[in-house]
Amino acid sequence: MNYKSFIAGAMAFALAACAAGCSDKKENDSKPDTSKETTAPTDTTAATETTTEEELQPPVPVEATDPNTVTFDDGIFDFVTTRNEDKDCASGTLSVAEIMGNKMLKFTDDNTVPLEGKVQKVIISATKLLGSEGAAKVRSIEFDLYAQATADHLKTDDADGVRAPGWIGGGGGTVTAKEDKWYDFKEFSGGEYNFETSGAVHGTFKFLLADSGMCWTEDMEDANFLIMRWGIANESDMYIDNIVFYDEDGNSIPLAEKSEVVMNDELKKQLEEAEVLASEVNSQAKDAIEEASRQVAEKQDQ
């Protein structure tokens, strides 16, 4: 017997058996243990599609929840004025406009001021909304701000020529009763890049130094505050809605009776109509007198 051949064959057989055993162990280690509980795999594709569909839905305006909210639903905005004295102030007009069934205060920017450094500013009179006594109780103010693009000049990381307002932010301030000192409110920011009309950016202004007299008092003739939108990245109009004033206990402050305001407006309208009617009657009476005088003169000549 050739022992060398026998030994070589035996060694080859042993090596082959060892390799097969190692291969089986690796396969067993890589397989899941079916005796244990397993979690079903997440369908990331479906989740991504769902998220994408949700992101594509345009933002919906926020509805008022507090009964003492200035909603502009009545169309009245005579307590708001624009500020355009400074060189960086945007120039524009005020109105009440509707977005998705929700009426808001609209600042229509005429875009005569360049975007770089431009600030959209509106002044809101708390005295006209709350009365002097109510204004003196104010310790914080909350509101919602929106922007609507009017051009497709926005540049983003993904594209150029986007019709969206871009980043939205700003701040505000007021003159306090103590030495007519200018008081800076906290800044706010937020916004929506993907749509022509942004979502609501919620702003909160607080009189943090109220205990030292840095707030409004009853003897102020017009306690008012300024809302400013800056960092404007694209031509766009500004909207404001859902203004609420809160006292030191966090309770909303009742608004002045709107019925009085509406009544005054109605009386004013009736007075204007009466003046027009009186003018027409006077004109007709004058014409009648002139005609009668003419006829009398003609008879006398005959």
Residue in 237, 160, 139 with CA at minimum distance from that of residue 196? 237
Residue in 207, 229, 268 with CA at minimum distance from that of residue 78? 268
pLDDT of 270 = 73
Does residue 216 surpass a pLDDT of 60? yes
- Are 284 and 224 found together in one domain? no
What average pLDDT score do residues 198-215 get?
93
The whole domain housing 297 covers: 257-302
Does residue 7 surpass a pLDDT of 90? no
Does residue 228 surpass a pLDDT of 80? yes
Q: CA separation (Å) from 141 to 37, 67, 99?
A: 54, 15, 23
In-domain check, residue 10? no
| Other C-beta atoms lying within 10 Å of the C-beta of residue 46 | 9
Residue 177, sorted as left (phi over 0), alpha (psi -120 to 50) or beta, turns out to be alpha
In-domain check, residue 94? yes
Q: Which residues pair with 143 in a beta bridge?
A: 203
- Are 264 and 244 found together in one domain? no
- Are 247 and 269 found together in one domain? no
- Are 289 and 141 found together in one domain? no
- Are 221 and 270 found together in one domain? no
- Are 236 and 262 found together in one domain? no
What average pLDDT score do residues 49-77 get?
83
Examine the fold and report which residue of 230, 254, 278 is the final residue of a domain before the chain moves on: 254
pLDDT of 111 = 96
pLDDT of 140 = 97
| Tokens, residue 135 | 């204004």
Q: What is the mean pLDDT of the chain?
A: 81
129: helix, coil or strand? helix
- Are 150 and 165 found together in one domain? yes
d(CA 195, CA 162): 9
| Tokens, residue 20 | 């097969």
- Are 281 and 229 found together in one domain? no
d(CA 155, CA 167): 11
In-domain check, residue 157? yes
Identity of the highest mean pLDDT range in 154-168, 183-197, 227-241 = 227-241
d(CA 167, CA 281): 58
- Are 297 and 243 found together in one domain? no
Q: State how many domains the chain has.
A: 2
Whether the Cβ atoms of residue 195 and residue 56 lie closer than 8 Å to each other: no
Identity of the highest mean pLDDT range in 9-23, 40-54, 257-271, 273-287 = 273-287
d(CA 301, CA 45): 103
In-domain check, residue 280? yes
d(CA 190, CA 235): 17
What average pLDDT score do residues 171-196 get?
91
In-domain check, residue 22? no
- Residue 214, CA atoms < 13 Å, CB-side half-sphere: 15
| Tokens, residue 82 | 């624009």
Tell me how many degrees the CA angle 190-162-159 measures, rounded to the nearest 5: 100
Q: Which residues pair with 9 in a beta bridge?
A: none
d(CA 91, CA 110): 6
Whether the Cβ atoms of residue 96 and residue 108 lie closer than 8 Å to each other: no
Q: What percentage of the chain carries pLDDT values higher than 90?
A: 57
pLDDT of 302 = 64
In-domain check, residue 136? yes
Number of helical (H) and strand (E) elements in the chain, helices listed first: 4, 11
- Are 206 and 277 found together in one domain? no
pLDDT of 265 = 58
Does residue 39 surpass a pLDDT of 80? no
What number of residues does the chain have? 302
Does residue 133 surpass a pLDDT of 50? yes
CATH code assigned at 141: 2.60.120.260
